[in-house]
């Protein structure tokens, strides 16, 4: 009898792989060990649950455990923590509330995800201080607001979680202060986005503190203040969102190699240095489509896609996990901000490029059409080759246009080629020259100089 | 002394070219002859003027005649009709209200645009029967509604103009009937779009008559009814929008070659068979990026882009006019519909492809996020090569996503490559798998079978 396919972790990557294996090879035994109770959930939706846009936490679950078991034939075991991998004997050690046992595998997929970074701030363990990386935390924050009715909130970190939580907590009626160590919010989106989103947060009443280090939190049992280099401010609720780190200890202890980014190193098929062990999702590296180098961008699409590809590879039809451009989009109150590719000039130079960029302000629709608003586009290219390296967008509408540039990155288009794309125009949707085309036109002129 | 650059026609292509020549080579004399009084206007905005979304017709003018003259140094002459071209003597014959004269040229650009097709219906000359292809007509329709307060309107043709005018006239309080000879509206957008837009028009109260030929219009001096094969219905206002035809007679009489599409044949630089004569905009052919064949898609971006490229070529830096994908987007009440590339299977086969397609219904946002609506995507590819040939989209939001496929066409991506694009995801903007990616995934599976 063949040994089963074993998956560690029941979220996007793990469940995509498990489902794909069962679809392609229904007779294969697939066991998924998930340490928690939630599987296959949309973590990105959690801030909107807290905000009140989504009624039940359950609504964020894409496929229920029962569906995985009954309809897809996956042997899904929640409440099962894998505590060890032995690549020599090809077994994993699994712990539940009641027992510890070994499970042998033919193929193993590590899809252990990432965890919210917990900085060593004083008072991290006070009541009312949260990170936001899993469904239980989302539920806890929601309940904490209902039960304790905090009036003020401090958010630490101006990334996705920080920005989305600022909107959510503002909607819940809290006075929100946001602390960011860097000179801008959304640093990976570049300066132009950081500036507009920062201004907009302030306009919306968020008390924004840039270049401000947080020392810790104070209070008796529950948090009542945040301490920063600038002093002490009331905060009856704190959300710390300073990034995530891949969950790699299980892999590392088993001798699985990690890459330079700190996540698990994999080849183009998602395979680790052990030929029977794959890794995918937030715990694993990807290849950046622009630099060709390993990268760690823990996002949902990457996890889903890699899981699905690995599921297919396992069943005998090798399928590369694909490359990533680091494309991301985030809502910040009434603004949308998006990015793709390599925006950071230093990073571009490290990858051997000579970056040149432009930032332009254009209109989201024909200038005379009602509802037109300003869209700010940054486009970056490599000077010698003209190749497009990355872009960012920010405005009240139209941020999803980043997909045009993301597609251009997949195709390694030059600025001139992108400029020639026949993009859609009608007054309610775009100026004649789509903002991406205008940016390409301006950058093209700069490259020609 | 060098002879001037002469441009016939003062709209998108002509004025883009004129402006570009003056910017690149300020000392070059550039004369533009425009027979009417309007130049450089957004014809696509006219239905929204009639609807009432845009206050002044002037708001549709991008650059005024005064700006072209004073700021850009273009010798723009409105009210000047070119009635003849003599390629041998390199002169054009120009007529104004007062005189007829000859103007010699060094380089000539024919940018005579297109005209609304006027079918030989009985009663076309009745008051209240309009086409909509220039600013004067837009003004006339608006005034006619104000002055005569018609209660019923018949629109002939279910293309862009027909659909947009249905919305505009409905907003103005008229009972609107729309007559289309084909079994669907928006035929170039394919069946899936036609069906949803047709249903939506009916929901909005438009009396939709498909597969219905119009015989003509009746009335004393002013129209009061439309006559169709199904009988007679009241219509106190009629808009005929059954397509446009390129204005080529001037060119043809001068021996300039027309292409198979009926528009002026040009090379990749927009040059006609006479090396000193270029043609651009709605009167000229373009090269289709998918088929590599000449095509005639009279749209604003194509005209602007070709004009600008020709302006640059004229000043000594040859710049191809670029290829087109036939990308288009149109608002139909609360729906947006878009298309790009080759959707028609017969046309794909004529171009040597073996088309295979899928149509899927997906969500515009994460399924649990407020405001998510159904987005219908059709994706077409060539079976042997897997190359993407075209796509259409229709839904309450998200139609501008067509740009992702338009960019893929520019890059000649395969379905598999498109499927690998790292498109942006966040719950307010998209499901994890963007609708385009889902369509590519489904089509990819079909190709793999």
Here the CATH number for the domain that contains residue A108 is 3.50.50.60
User: For B245-273, b where at least 16 C-beta lie within 10 A, e where not — what string?
Assistant: bbbbebbeebebebbebebbbbeebbbbe
Contacts of A161 in chain B (CB under 8 A): none
> Are B123 and B220 contained in the same domain?
yes
Residue A205 C-alpha from the chain's centroid: 26
Whether residues B159 and B218 fall in one domain: yes
Residue A10 included in any domain: yes
Partners of A227 in the β-ladder:
A216, A232
CB-based contact A337:A344 (threshold 8 Å): no
0.90 surpassed by complex ipTM: yes
Q: Supply B222's token pair.
A: 């002013």
pLDDT tens profile B193-205? 999 999 999 999 9
A438 and A346, same structural domain? yes
| Domain end residue (candidates: B242, B257, B276) | B242
Residue at A226 is within a domain: yes
Percentage of chain A exceeding pLDDT 90: 98
Least CB-CB distance to A330: which of B406, B426, B434?
B426
In contact, A91 and A98? CB cutoff 8 Å: no
**Pairing mode, strands A335-341 and A328-332:** antiparallel
- Residue B253 pLDDT more than 70? yes
Nearest-angstrom CA–CA distance, A436 and A391: 9
Print the SS3 string covering chain B.
CCCCEEEECCCHHHHHHHHHHHHHCCCCCEEEEECCCCCCECHHHHHHHHHCCCCCHHHHECCCHHHHHHCCCCEEEECCEEEEEECCCCEEEEECCCCEEEEECCEEEECCCEEECCCCCECCCCECEECCCCHHHHHHHHHHHHHHCCCEEEEECCCHHHHHHHHHHHHCCCEEEEECCCCCCCHHHCHHHHHHHHHHHHHCCCEEECCCCEEEEEECCEEEEEEECCEEEECCEEEECCCEEECCHHHHHCCCCECCCCCECCCCCCECCCCCEEECHHHECEEECCCCCEECCCCHHHHHHHHHHHHHHHCCCCCCCCEECCCEEEEECCEEEEEEECCCHHHHHHCCCCEEEEEEEEECCCCCCCCCCEEEEEEEEECCCCEEEEEEEEECCCHHHHHHHHHHHHCCCEHHHHHCCCCCCCCCCCCCCCHHHHHHHHHHHHHHC
Residues of A in contact with B368 (CB under 8 A): 42, 45, 48, 54, 59-60
In the annotation, is B283 catalytic? Answer: no
Q: Which of B44, B124, B299, B423 is catalytic?
A: B44
Banded pLDDT at A2 (limits 50, 70, 90): confident
A-contacting residues in B 375-414 (Cβ below 8 Å):
398-404, 406-411, 413
From residue A385, alpha-carbon distances to A346, B279, B421 in Å are 18, 31, 21
Task: Give the H/E segment covering residue A350.
Answer: helix A345-350
Whether the predicted pLDDT of A248 surpasses 70: yes
User: What average pLDDT does this structure show over A103-110?
Assistant: 98
Of B400, B418, B436, nearest to A429 by CB-CB distance is: B400
A366 in a structural domain:
yes
User: Is the Cβ–Cβ distance between A277 and A90 less than 8 Å?
Assistant: no
Give how far B236 is from chain A: nearest CA, Å.
28
Q: In DSSP terms, which residues pair with B85 in a beta bridge? A: B92
| pLDDT tens-place string over residues B381-402 | 999 999 999 999 999 999 999 9
Q: How many beta carbons lie within 10 A of that of residue A337, not counting itself?
A: 29
Could you tell me how far CA A254 lies from the centroid of its own chain?
26
Output DSSP code: residue A271: B
Residue A330 located in a structural domain: no
Do A109 and A144 sit in the same domain of this protein? Answer: no
Left if phi > 0, otherwise alpha if psi is -120 to 50, otherwise beta: which for B166? Answer: alpha
Q: What is the pLDDT of residues B352-371, one digit of tens each?
A: 999 999 999 999 999 999 99
Tell me whether residue A50 is in a domain. no
- Assess whether A230 and A276 both reside in one domain: no
**From B160, B331, B421, residue closest to A407, measured CB to CB:** B421
**Are B329 and A424 a contacting pair at CB < 8 A?**
yes
Q: If you average pLDDT over residues B205-229, what whole number do you get? A: 97
pLDDT digits (tens, 9 = 90+) for A264-306: 999 999 999 999 999 999 999 999 999 999 999 999 999 999 9
What is the number of other CB atoms lying within 10 angstroms of the CB of residue B367?
A: 15
The catalytic position among A3, A23, A36, A44 is: A44
Residue with tokens 């775009």, as numbered in its chain? A430
Q: Average of pLDDT values for A348-361?
A: 98
Q: Same structural domain for residues B84 and B137?
A: no
Distance CA A136, CA A159 (A): 21
Does B449 score more than 80 pLDDT?
no
* Structural tokens at position A403: 């997909």
Claim to verify: residue B95 and residue B28 sit in the same structural domain? yes
Contact B155, B176 (CB under 8 A): yes
Residue A1 has a pLDDT of: 56
Nearest-neighbour CA in chain B from A369: distance (Å): 7
A218 vs chain B: nearest CA distance in angstroms? 34
* Residues A299, A329: Cα–Cα separation, whole Å: 11
Counting every residue written for chain B, the total comes to 449
Q: What is the pLDDT of residue B20?
A: 97
A347 phi and psi angles, rounded to 5 deg: -65, -40
The dihedrals phi and psi of B112, each to the nearest 5 degrees, come to -85, -5
Residue A219 or residue B449, greater confidence: A219
pLDDT of A211 > 80? The answer is yes
Name every chain A residue with its beta carbon within 8 A of the beta carbon of B407.
404, 407-408, 411, 413, 418, 421, 423
Strand locations in A180-213 (E) = 207-209
CB contact under 8 A, A432 and B289: no
Contact B322 A420 (CB under 8 A): yes
Residue where a domain terminates, one of B242, B267, B302: B242
* Residue A381 near residue A387, CB atoms below 8 Å: yes
Same domain, A250 and A233: no
Q: Which site among B48, B189, B397, B422 would you substitute to test the A interface, given the most A Cβ atoms closer than 10 Å to its Cβ? A: B422
Interface of B with A in 299-318 (CB under 8 A): 299-302, 304-305
Residue B329, in any domain of the structure? no
**Tokens encoding A320:** 């590369």
Q: Are residues B57 and B167 in the same domain?
A: no
pLDDT value for B2? 84
Is it the case that residue A230 has pLDDT exceeding 90?
no
pLDDT digits (tens, 9 = 90+) for A63-103: 999 999 999 999 999 999 999 999 999 999 999 999 999 99
Q: What is the CA radius of gyration of chain A?
A: 23
Q: Is residue A329 part of a domain?
A: no
Output DSSP code: residue A407: H
If you search the block for the tokens 């009443």, which residue do you land on?
A205
Q: Is B332 domain-assigned?
A: no
Q: Which of A216, A242, A268 is the last residue of a domain?
A: A242
Give the model's confidence band at B230: pLDDT under 50 very low, under 70 low, under 90 confident, else very high: confident
Residues of the domain holding A81: 5-43+57-113+245-324
User: Is B191 an 8 Å CB contact of chain A?
Assistant: no
pLDDT single digits (tens) A181-210: 999 999 999 999 999 999 999 999 999 999
The pLDDT, as a whole number, for residue B1 is: 56
Q: At what angle do helices B191-203 and B160-171 cross, to 10 degrees?
A: 10
- We report the CATH number of the domain holding residue B422 as 3.30.390.30
pLDDT confidence of residue A55:
94
Q: Model confidence over B108-142: pLDDT tens digits? A: 999 999 999 999 999 999 999 999 989 999 999 99
Verify that B159 and B298 share a domain, yes or no.
no
- pLDDT over 60 at B234, yes or no: yes
Number of domains in chain A: 3
Distance CA(A158)–CA(A163), nearest Å, equals 6
**Closest Cβ opposite residue A427 in set B45, B325, B429:** B45
What is the reported pTM? 0.96
Q: Are residues B108 and B126 in the same domain?
A: no
Token pair for A281: 């999702």
Same domain for A15 and A104, yes or no, is yes
């Amino acid at each position: 009898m063949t040994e089963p396919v074993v998956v560690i972790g029941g979220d996007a990557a793990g469940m995509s792989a498990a489902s794909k294996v069962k679809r392609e090879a229904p007779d294969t035994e697939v066991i998924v060990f998930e340490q928690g109770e939630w599987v296959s959930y949309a973590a990105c939706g959690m801030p909107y649950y807290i905000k009140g846009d989504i009624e039940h936490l359950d609504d964020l679950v894409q496929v229920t455990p029962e569906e995985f078991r009954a309809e897809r034939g996956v042997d899904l075991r929640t409440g099962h923590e894998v505590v060890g991998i032995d690549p020599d004997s090809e077994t994993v050690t699994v712990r539940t509330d009641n027992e510890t046992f070994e499970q042998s595998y033919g193929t193993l997929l590590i899809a252990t995800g990432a965890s919210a970074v917990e900085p060593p701030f004083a008072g991290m363990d006070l009541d009312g201080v949260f990170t936001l990386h899993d469904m239980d935390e989302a539920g806890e924050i929601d309940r904490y607001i209902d039960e304790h009715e905090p009036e003020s909130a401090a958010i630490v970190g101006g990334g996705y979680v920080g920005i989305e939580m600022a909107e959510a907590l503002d909607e819940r009626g809290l006075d929100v202060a946001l602390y960011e160590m860097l000179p801008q919010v959304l640093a990976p989106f570049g300066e132009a986005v950081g500036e507009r989103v920062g201004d907009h947060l302030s306009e919306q009443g968020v008390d924004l503190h840039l270049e401000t280090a947080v020392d810790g939190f104070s209070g008796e049992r529950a948090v009542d203040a945040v301490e920063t280099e600038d002093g002490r401010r009331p905060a009856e609720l704190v959300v710390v969102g300073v990034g995530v780190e891949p969950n790699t200890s299980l892999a590392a202890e088993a001798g699985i190699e990690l890459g330079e980014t700190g996540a698990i190193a994999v080849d183009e098929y998602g395979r680790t240095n052990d030929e029977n062990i794959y890794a995918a999702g937030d715990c694993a590296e990807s290849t950046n489509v622009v630099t060709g180098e390993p990268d760690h961008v823990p996002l949902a699409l990457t996890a889903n896609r890699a899981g699905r590809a690995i599921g297919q590879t396992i069943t005998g039809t090798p399928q590369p996990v694909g490359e990533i451009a680091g494309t991301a989009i985030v809502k910040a109150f009434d603004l949308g901000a998006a990015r793709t590719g390599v925006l950071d000039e230093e990073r571009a130079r490290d990858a051997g490029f000579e970056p040149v960029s432009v930032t332009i302000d254009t209109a989201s629709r024909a200038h005379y059409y009602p509802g037109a608003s300003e869209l700010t586009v940054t486009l970056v290219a490599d000077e010698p080759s003209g190749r497009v390296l990355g872009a960012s967008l920010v405005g009240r509408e139209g941020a999803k246009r980043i997909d045009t540039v993301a597609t251009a990155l997949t195709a390694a288009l030059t600025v001139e080629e992108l400029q020639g794309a026949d993009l859609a125009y009608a007054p309610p949707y775009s100026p004649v020259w789509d903002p991406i085309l205008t940016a390409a036109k301006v950058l093209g002129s700069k490259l020609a100089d």
